Amino acid sequence: MSFIDKEKERIKYNYQGLILFGFLFFYFITVQSDITRHKVIFGSGIEAEPLSFITYPLILGIVILIMYLNSHLFWIKEQGKKVFILRKYDIIPIDRKEIYTAKFKIIIEYVIKYIIYSIFTYILALVFNSYKEINLLKNSIEIIEVSLLALIVLAIVLFINILQDKKTKKEI
């Protein structure tokens, strides 16, 4: 069993799937209400605009999912205190790069799932509501923007974890 499989097993019973699908549901409700609002506005004779892929639940979902997974992958509760878990791996003969790579692969996997599921949710909402104002170029650019946002948040989290790793190493 590889290190990444052990990490997935360690956080298996947490609520990242529930968070993912909870935000997907929240995203669906937001897209559905935007479609309804647009249909009412455009039904009154105003020129139709394509519906934006990016909504607050999508952005909030990415940020919270990354923070939640980071918390469960890099922190552990011991004796009532949160402890940086990489100190526990000091005695294991695994390279830091391999540890960070495995943990961030798990986070990236969930973020990619969330973005892909959001795309499907968006498309299904448009199709089921017969919403014909679709701009593939705008939507593609928005998907790239969301992916860049996720990468920026991941980079910030990685930087914070590296700082925390150095700080806790000095304390020992």
Report, as an integer, the average pLDDT of 65-82: 86
Buried b or exposed e, range 99-131, using 16+ CB within 10 angstroms: bbebbbebbeebbeebbebbeebbeebbeeeeb
Going by pLDDT thresholds of 50, 70 and 90, the confidence category of residue 83 is confident
Task: Please provide residue 4's backbone torsions phi and psi, each rounded to the nearest 5 degrees.
Answer: -65, -40
Report, as an integer, the average pLDDT of 143-172: 89
Tell me if the pTM is above 0.75. Answer: yes
- Round the average pLDDT of the chain to a whole number and report it: 86
Q: How far is CA 55 from the centre of its chain?
A: 14
pLDDT tens figures, 8-19: 777 776 788 888
Residue 72 has pLDDT above 70, yes or no: yes
Domain boundaries, the chain: 3-171
Report, as an integer, the average pLDDT of 28-48: 81
3-state DSSP percent of the chain in helix, strand and coil, to 5: 75, 5, 20
pLDDT tens figures, 96-139: 888 888 889 999 999 999 999 999 999 999 888 888 777 888 88
**62 by DSSP, 3-state: which?**
helix
Going by pLDDT thresholds of 50, 70 and 90, the confidence category of residue 167 is confident
